[in-house]
Structure 1
Amino acid sequence: MNTRSTALPRPAQRPTGHASAAAPAPAPVSVPEPASSTAAPPPTGPQPHAPYAEALLAHAGRDWLRLNVPGHAADASRFASLAQLFGPGALALDFPPLLDGLDLGAASPLARAQELAAEAWGARRTWFLTNGASQANQIASLVTPALGDTLVVQRSVHSSVIDGLVLSGLDAVFVQPSIDAEQGIAHGIGPEALAEALAQALAAASRPAAAYVVSPSYFGAVADIRALADVAHGAGVPLIVDEAWGAHFGFHPDLPGNALSQGADLVTSSTHKLGGSLTQSAMLHLADGPYADRLEPLIDRAHRMVQSTSASALLLASLDLARAQLACGTAELEASIEAADRIRRTIRRLGRFRLVSDTFDRYDDITGADPLRIAIDTRHGHISGHEARRLLYRDHQIMVEVATDAAVVAVIGAGSQPDTERFVEALHCLPSPLSDAGHQPLQRLPAPGPARLTTREAFHHPARLLPAAEAIGHISADTLAAYPPGIPNLLPGEVITPEVVDFLRYTANTPHGHIRGAHDPLVTHLRVIDSGTH
């Protein structure tokens, strides 16, 4: 990889015996040069530059007497434990917001970095976020009441979208995704299902505010965003796409096009997932379409509401660097795709396991697949996904992203090149504890119970705690989601069903199982609204 190193200026020499020594210099930042590969044309403009990261690096190289926050003051000698864990360079780069030469003003390095990100993703405007795509989903939910009173939303959205409904107070019409019953996973929705839900909202005399869909899914299934955008626009509403898992889309010809290029109006991007930025950093992209003039000032206001006033400079800089890497790292992306393809080819050849993506052609709502996602049907190899994940972690020091009762999902970050042989060998060394005769029934995704209240009404309603078995038939006060992937299995305002309780308790008792929003780790009790059943 060709890189250009931005050298850090040496701090000015202090007199001998000064009470506080200068912090050691952070390591130089390497910014990718355009790739030499001819697989895709290089981006236009100064995409190899990372203006905010470079300005932050230069700022850290000056001889500051830091009498402001953060309290460690970049003093690696006095805060040795921090410096030992993170390195003195991280402390030196940890500046607060609102500094000249970094983020103040319309022409600041941060503003320029966000402009380059908008250019790279094809957006009218891009916002850098420091609380993940969850923050992006909350912003998107907060602005939609200005457009209508009902959000038409895919039922398998991330729980942060449901949190956004609580914040916004919007009513919702949910669109059920297609379900792979064999795997127990949700895919996406098609244009016909979206059109039917929009018509349902209109028939109820409500004003649809927007359509909210997910693509790609947690298992890499890509929806027909172009067709969904046409349906939404035909109904007079914008299309919002939770593209949390697709930050890398559009940066290589072997990857699906990103949602903005397919007609989406507002796109949430969890850049840290596969895009290479630090954990908890993300972006929100606004298209230059018919809804942009109305949405842009609203997004600005919502962004100020939910973005920390102490946003991490480290996270912001990582977004700047990730954008430069994606925009100019065609050769590295190609190597990542080839690594994923190599794993798939070997799994198919050895025959013990199957690939979930090999069944995507059965579903009309799936038009493509993310090549950097490797979803493996472990049940076919006579081991549950939860057990496979546990043994890979414990015995082989291999972490996979998601496990279900039937599968594990491995992801390869855009630009990374993992040891594919190590993973394939460890996978095929897993024991086969399940025989065909003793195969446990698959824990299927439960169908949601009927909605009796809006999410906001249920959230604010007085609640009480009941044993899980006694909560059946009552209305949930909480959002409960098996995590990962974080798709809500129970929403505030929905009736609690036996199937939902069984699924949540089963998941909570599996290795690495976690239920976001649960009152207790094993889901022995549930919070229900105090008025009982409706």
Structure 2
Amino acid sequence: MEGMTCTFAATATATATATPLADPTRFGSSTPYADALAGYAARDTVRLNVPGHAADPHAAPGLARFFGSDVLRMDVPPLLAGLDKGDGNPLAASLRLAADAFGARRTWFLTNGASQANRIAALALGAFRDAEAPVVAQRSAHSSFSDGIILGGLSPRFVQPSIDGWFGINHGVSPAALREALAGLGAGERPKGVYLISPSYFGAVADIAALAQVAHDAGAPLIVDAAWGAHFGFHEDLPESPLRLGADLVVSSTHKLGGSLTQSAMLHLGHGPFADELEPLVDRAFKLAQSTSESSLLLASLDLARDALQHGRDRIGDAIAAADELRDRIRRGGRFRVVSDTFDRFDDIVAVDPLRVSIDVASGGVHGPTARELLMERDGIYLEIATETCVVAVIAPGVVPDIARVVEALHALPIDADAAADVDAVGSVGALPAPGPLAMLPRDAFLRPAEAVPIEAAVGRVSADALAAYPPGIPNVLPGEVITPELVRFLKHVAATPGGYVRGAVDPTLATLSVVS
């Protein structure tokens, strides 16, 4: 089984190409940018440029005390010779190393997370092919791709992921479901692209090779949001990288499980049949979206994280062994269940990320968010997320946590008499209502004036907001879609259940909804 000349020059340095500009052997280092940055920081300099702390502990004593003087010295602006300026600079070399390590034709380093990568992907698709051509996207796409749909003026069509009604979570898309969604497009409609997610938040891995073939057969590139799979392909016991399975563009939230600093990420272009067309479009979108003052600290962390993944097989293996031990001890304990043990019920799941340990705490009489809060406050154990029924532990490559402490704390959680009722409420959510028709492009709906109307009066109106009921967290309506009676009933039902809420609603009580005026 997530001046004009200066702007261009600054952004142009943070990409890798297949040209000799990025020959990493020139520097004799496996982390050329990080090493060059450390060397620059060690020089005796007088800084009369930005950032304003000037790497001077006396000028910024608070920063120096909090972060240390070394961080100040390595916090430098772009466009410095010997770092990111000129042909074959260390940053270009680091980007080439990253592209090679991940199996990419080209890699971009990002300093605003995988959310930036999703928006770049959407903007690139906006310029790809006819303006009216649709994009087929997984309905549970991250909100940043929905933002990209608005920014890029895209016309979306959707394919539903599989949904686990018991746990109130969604997984991925099967090749059959994607094929059906593509066949349902209008006559002569060739999609701009297909956007899917793998792995899921819970570690479920979709059949990327088959999905890429389905997308390519329809003449469309496959974009994979692999925010949670930055480590894939770096150990034989991990799933393969989506790039090596045929994906054309891959979003990688490197800080999640790749080990870089928070808010750093990568975007990878594959070697597929659409690479020649996509590369200049992605690069143009990158220059639009990336800061002209990108953080040298985040860039260096990406360089270091890639090196650690590429040369850290044994450390990755240690983390996998620790995750296996945690799962085994939970099973033997008898009180809780491991969520991934039930993944064989879903034909869209072909593999599981072993570094994600999802625990069914409701089976042991504990409400998910309550379990997470107690473990943090009482035991100092921080888990990634919680749903009404589950908590998820993330064991990053190289991390070997105190498994005994975690298991002991889990089994010391008090039984919650109301937990069973909460779980029953999750299970009663039932089938999701079909989205209403798309009356106008999401971008048009977002930019038009909006008004709040009573929820019942919103039926038949065009939504100005994206609304997603939790559980399971799939957008039920997007800007531009018509609000239906079934949708209103569903949202009210979820909002009334224990732990249920609707993200994006202008009124948390759902007395009103925001519609296009």
The 3 A distance-change label for structure 1 pair 419 and 480 is farther
What residue in structure 1 maps to residue 490 of structure 2? 499
1:406 maps to a residue whose letter is T
Q: Is the 8 A contact 2:171 2:204 kept in 1?
A: yes
**Cα offset for 1:441?**
2.3
CA contact (8 A) 2:335 2:363 kept: yes
1:291 aligns with 2:274: yes
Unaligned runs of 5+ in 1: 1-43
2:100 to 106, 111, 119: 119
| CA apart distance, 1:465 | 2.4
Q: Does 1:84 align with 2:68?
A: no
Question: Which letter maps to 1:286?
Answer: L
Q: What is the Cα deviation at residue 501 of structure 1?
A: 4.5
1:269 alignment counterpart: 252
For 1:500, the aligned partner's letter is: L
1:218 corresponds to 2:209 = no
> What is the DSSP-based 3-state SS (H/G/I as helix, E as strand, rest coil) of the residue aligned with 1:441?
helix
Cα 1:489–1:390 shift into 2, 3 Å: farther
Distance in 2 between residues matched to 1:182 and 1:397, nearest whole Å: 29
Aligned to 1:71: 52
Distance in 1, matches of 2:117 and 2:84, equals: 20
Mapped partners of 1:93, 1:321: distance in 2: 14
Contact kept, 8 Å, 1:223 with 1:367, in 2: the verdict is yes
Using the TM superposition, name which of 148-157 and 298-307 deviates more.
148-157
Correspondence for 1:152 among 112, 136, 143 = 136
For 1:315, the equivalent position in structure 2 comes to 298
Cα distance, 1:487–1:401 mapped onto 2, change above 3 Å: farther
Deviation at 1:105, TM superposition (A): 2.5
Shift in CA distance, 56/491, structure 1 to aligned 2, threshold 3 Å: same
User: Deviation at 1:92?
Assistant: 0.9
Which stretch of the first structure deviates more once superposed, 88-97 or 391-400?
Answer: 391-400
Q: 2-side partners of 1:398 and 1:436: how far apart?
A: 21
Seen in structure 2, the aligned counterparts of structure 1 residues 64 and 47 have a Cα distance that, compared at 3 Å, is closer
- 1:449-464 aligned at under 5 Å gives the runs 449-453=435-439, 454-464=441-451
Q: Which whole-Å CA distance do the structure 2 matches of 1:354 and 1:82 have between them? A: 45
- Cα offset, 1:88, TM superposition: 1.6
**2: CA distance between counterparts of 1:85 and 1:519?**
38
Q: What residue is the counterpart of 1:366 in the other structure?
A: 349
Deviation at 1:89, TM superposition (A): 1.3
Deviations 1:180-205 (A, max 9, x none): 1111111111111111111222x344
Distance 2:471 2:253 in 1: 15
CA distance in 2, matches of 1:47, 1:67: 31
Q: Classify the secondary structure of the residue corresponding to 1:392.
A: helix
Structure 2 letter corresponding to 1:175: V
- Deviations along 1:319-351, one digit per CA (max 9) or x if unpaired, are 000000000001100010011101000000011
Greater mean deviation of Cα atoms: 269-278 or 142-151: 142-151
State the distance in 1 between where 2:42 and 2:51 align: 17
1:469, distance to aligned residue in structure 2 (A): 6.7
What displacement does 1:519 show?
A: 3.8
- Give the alignment of 1:305-454 within 5 angstroms: 305-434=288-417, 438=421, 440-443=423-426, 444=429, 446-447=432-433, 449-453=435-439, 454=441
* Structure 1 vs Structure 2 CA RMSD: 2.5
Q: Deviations over 1:48-71 (max 9, x none)?
A: 711000000000111121111111
Q: Distance in 2 between matches of 1:184 and 1:197?
A: 23
The one-letter amino acid of 2:31's match is A
SS at match of 2:135: strand
Q: Which amino acid aligns with 1:171?
A: S
Identify if the C-alpha distance between structure 1 residues 504 and 166 changes in structure 2 by more than 3 Å, giving closer, same or farther.
farther
- After TM superposition, the structure 1 stretch with the greater mean CA deviation from structure 2, 145-154 or 302-311, is 145-154
How far, CA to CA, are the matches of 1:118 and 1:386 in structure 2?
39
The one-letter code sitting in structure 1 at the alignment partner of 2:52 is G
Give the aligned residue type for 1:294.
E
CA distance in 1, matches of 2:228, 2:246: 18
Residue number in structure 2 paired with 1:529: 516
**Quick one: percent identity of the two aligned structures?**
55
| Residue matched to 2:20 | none
Kept after mapping to 1: 8 A contact 2:169/2:473: no
Match of 1:15 in 2: none
CA separation in 1, counterparts of 2:211 and 2:406? 37
Q: 1:405 to 1:473 in 2, by over 3 A?
A: farther
TM-score of the superposition, structure 1-length normalised?
0.85
The aligned residue for residue 15 of structure 2 is none
Aligned residues of 1:101 and 1:109 also touching (Cα < 8 A): yes
Can you give the 5+ residue segments of structure 2 that lack an aligned partner in the other structure?
Answer: 1-23
Residue matched to 1:132: 113
Alpha-carbon spacing, 1:473–1:426, altered in 2? closer, same or farther (3 Å): farther
Equivalent-residue separation in structure 2 for 1:47 and 1:520 (angstroms): 58
In structure 1, the residue matched to 2:21 is: none
The residue number in structure 1 matching 2:14 is: none
Q: Kindly tell me: are residues 437 and 252 of structure 1, through their superposed partners in 2, closer, same or farther at Cα, counting changes over 3 Å? A: closer
Note closer, same or farther for the CA distance 1:250–1:69 as it changes in structure 2 (3 Å cut).
same
User: Following TM superposition, by how much is the alpha carbon of 1:416 offset from its aligned partner in structure 2, in angstroms?
Assistant: 1.3
Residue equivalent to 1:196 = 180
How far apart are residue 498 of structure 1 and its match? 2.9
Contact 2:136 2:159 in 1 (8 A): yes
Residues 118 and 436 of structure 1, relative CA distance in 2, 3 Å threshold: closer
One-letter amino acid of the counterpart of residue 199, structure 2 = P
Contact 1:448 1:500 (8 Å CA) reproduced: no
Q: 1 CA distance for matches of 2:389 and 2:363?
A: 8
Residue 158 of structure 2 is matched in structure 1 by: 174
Distance 1:493 1:441, change over 3 A: farther
Question: Any conservation in 1 of the 2:362–2:420 contact (CA below 8 Å)?
Answer: no
